[in-house]
Amino acid sequence: MPRPMAPSFRELLAGVKQEIREVTVDEVKRLLDDRAQVKLIDVREADEYAGGRLPGAVHIPRGYLELRIEERAGRDEELVVYCAGGTRSALAVKSLKELGYTRVASLAGGYNRWSDAALPVEKPFVLTAEQKERYRRHLILPEVGEEGQAKLLKSRVLLMGAGGLGSPAALYLAAAGVGTLGIVDSDVVDLSNLQRQVLHTQERRGQPKVVSARAAIEALNPDVRVIPFQERLTSHNVLRVLEGFDLVLDGGDNFPTRYLLNDACVMKGLPNIHGSVFRFEGQVTTFVPGQGPCYRCLYPAPPPPELAPSCAEAGVLGVLPGLIGLLQANEALKLILGQGESLVGRLLTFDALSTRFQELKLRRDAQCPVCAPGAKVELIDYERFCSTTA
């Protein structure tokens, strides 16, 4: 008995299109204009995707779709899949239906028809081959991937201080691919710094810390642009320095700077990741305006100077700023990527002698002069504020 002839590809595709749902470019545009809860999945190859995509589309090459779709979309989400002309997307939709995705459709005519209709497209940020190799361990994490790495490369983080806290934070943020690092520090590298400030070297003694920091960061990762601010942060320059940055890491070592940075971040609506160390103890928390307390909620008034000596006066275990600075860097990466649970409303403390962490809950002060609803923030003379209040 002769074997039945296998269907041609054209017949197979026609059968698939009878089983799935297709949507037109006009329907998809209406969904986007109405800000409907729909996720666009681009299943083209990387070189096609680099040429342009539909606004906000998620890129999963067809060959990886079944492997990666669960990381990027839920089975109950509304999905529109597209390729160049509508063939690969139709086959992809059939496969997704078999995986249990019920609200999924293929874009008829694909990207080509969308582009021919002169509808909006985006130029995606595409990693180079060298960047893909450098950040390979990030790219295999579903929580990061190429889109997350692109966020890191486009992000701008300001570090207050290139000292004990700023050194490890700067190195690891640079290694992670944070694209722009601003560094504020008016000091120069001293021999006594090298016990804990790992950005600097013996050969760079006497150099401004921002110059030494830039040399270390650029040697580590040429993707990173360093913006040095060799100046002391004051009420007169803080808003200019903060301009254009996405978030701030506070590695300052004095109370006037901490209060100044807090108030300016509240004014600008910038997240402020605070860290501090004293002898064998450190602490870290994250302040996000409108989402939790600020530094003044935690410390309404500074302590008297005799109760809060500096590291130069009281000493500090060299490894401790490294631990706290890395926790600050970790907070920054989570905020940029939009992943995990931040330390907003939580103060994490660390005792190096007992190797114990403790967590304290922080509450927003309803009477806070800076972050309470309706409060009017004014930048003041913080040296006088700290001395007279204490």
Domain ranges of the chain: 9-116, 155-389
The catalytic position among 297, 311, 368, 371 is 311
Q: What is the pLDDT of residue 251?
A: 94
pTM for the full model? 0.84
Q: Which amino acid is present at 302?
A: P
Tell me which DSSP letter residue 76 carries.
T
**In this structure, are residues 318 and 196 in contact, taking their beta carbons and an 8 Å threshold?**
yes
pLDDT at 325 over 80: yes
Strand order in the sheet with 156-160: 225-229, 180-184, 156-160, 247-250, 272-278, 281-287, 346-351, 356-361
Q: Which helix (H) or strand (E) covers residue 289, if one does?
A: none
pLDDT at 314 over 90: no
Helix (H/G/I), strand (E/B), else coil: 63: helix
Q: For residue 4, what pLDDT band results from cuts at 50, 70 and 90?
A: low
pLDDT at 2 over 70: no
**In this structure, are residues 38 and 78 in contact, taking their beta carbons and an 8 Å threshold?**
yes
CA distances from 262 to 9, 228, 254, 378 (A): 64, 21, 13, 11
More confidently predicted of 223 and 7: 223
More confidently predicted of 229 and 147: 229
Cα 244 versus chain centre, distance:
15
Question: Which candidate, 255, 246, 256, 261, places its Cα nearest to that of 184?
Answer: 261
pLDDT tens digit sequence for 250-276: 999 899 999 999 999 999 999 999 999
Two tokens, residue 98: 């078999």
Q: What is the pLDDT of residue 326?
A: 98
Average pLDDT, the chain: 93
**In this structure, are residues 161 and 210 in contact, taking their beta carbons and an 8 Å threshold?**
no
Cα 29 versus chain centre, distance:
30
Judge whether 368 counts as a catalytic residue. Answer: no
- In CATH, the number for domain 9-116 is 3.40.250.10
Q: How far apart are CA 59 and CA 184, in angstroms?
A: 38
**In this structure, are residues 311 and 277 in contact, taking their beta carbons and an 8 Å threshold?**
yes
Q: For residue 1, what pLDDT band results from cuts at 50, 70 and 90?
A: low
Q: What is the pLDDT of residue 5?
A: 67
CATH of 155-389, one of 3.40.50.360, 3.30.1330.50, 3.40.50.720, 3.40.390.10: 3.40.50.720
Q: What is the pLDDT of residue 3?
A: 67
What sign has the CA pseudo-torsion 325, 328, 333, 336? negative
Q: How far apart are CA 243 and CA 227, in angstroms?
A: 12
Q: What is the pLDDT of residue 109?
A: 96
What sign has the CA pseudo-torsion 179, 183, 188, 193? negative
Q: What is the pLDDT of residue 384?
A: 87
**In this structure, are residues 108 and 23 in contact, taking their beta carbons and an 8 Å threshold?**
yes
What number is the average pLDDT over the span 332-350?
A: 97
pLDDT tens digit sequence for 54-69: 999 999 999 999 998 9
Which DSSP string do the residues of 326-348 spell out, in sequence order?
Answer: HHHHHHHHHHHHT-S---BTEEE
Instruction: Establish whether domains 9-116 and 155-389 are of one fold.
Output: no
pLDDT tens digit sequence for 67-112: 989 988 999 999 999 999 999 999 999 999 999 999 999 999 999 9
pLDDT at 30 over 70: yes
Two tokens, residue 268: 């600008």
